[in-house]
Amino acid sequence: MKFGLLGEHLSHSYSKKIHEDLFLLKKIDATYDLIEISEDQLKEYIDKIRNKEYQGYNVTIPYKKTVMKYLDVIDPVAKEIGAVNTIYFKDGLVHGTNTDYFGFVDELKYYRISPKGKECFVLGTGGASMACQKALEDLGGDVIKVSREPRDKKMISYQELEKMKSLEIVVNTTPVGMYPNVLSSPLDKNTAKKANVIIDIIFNPKKTLLMSYNNKSHNGLRMLLMQAVKAEDIWLDKEYNIDYNEYFIRLKEMI
């Protein structure tokens, strides 16, 4: 079986290692490719699922929204989020879902972060941002989106964020600070220090510049792992009895 990740720039990705490690744990004979493509190649690669050249894909920046128009079925979770990160073939149709949502919920639970009744400031407005927003809202958080160009009442600018005296939960869903641009941060040090907790969903580097500004911060490696676990459950149509916490500890040491 063949699976893969569709994206634009994938040299930083740990997805191949994670998925192939998980296949080994499950004793599944499968491979996982990092597939760097341009937007005009999306339809070609969706057709490869129809032709059974691939059995499933993950999707990352910048195609989580644009890929949706090439799919036959988009499940309710992905529709509500407005982005797809997992694609699979079932009953003759190409389906899209969003496992980022499940990965982020697991990350919150793993680090014992409860959004209930708290202001949650989400940096960025892309596909991953929408999955995190839905997770926070479903867990009772009051989501406030942060953007360079605010477009609605539940969205503020970075300048407005900087003026606030304290911040409860901050989630960075932008690529700012991701390898190779590791000397960048979406927030300055003074603003970041105001947060009770920061989740930066970047996983490479392990500790972003943003995270270095606040000692109560977590990266996105747990989210990456658990969205991958959920994607494989869907692709293989089976849930496996595996201690993913044990693997997560090993994963953190390996990368």
The pLDDT value given to residue 44: 97
The pLDDT value recorded for residue 24 is 95
User: pTM of the predicted model, to two decimals?
Assistant: 0.93
Using a CB cutoff of 8 Å and minimum separation of 24, what contacts does 79-83 make? Answer: 80/134, 81/127, 81/130, 81/131, 81/134, 82/127, 82/130, 83/126, 83/127, 83/128, 83/130, 83/131
pLDDT on residue 30:
97
pLDDT, residue 61, reads 87
Catalytic residue ranges: 64
Q: What are the residue ranges in the chain where pLDDT is below 50?
A: none
Query: What structural domains does the chain harbor?
Result: 2-98+222-254 (3.40.50.10860), 102-219 (3.40.50.720)
Burial class (CB in 10 A: 0-12, 13-18, 19+), 64: buried
pLDDT of residue 34: 97
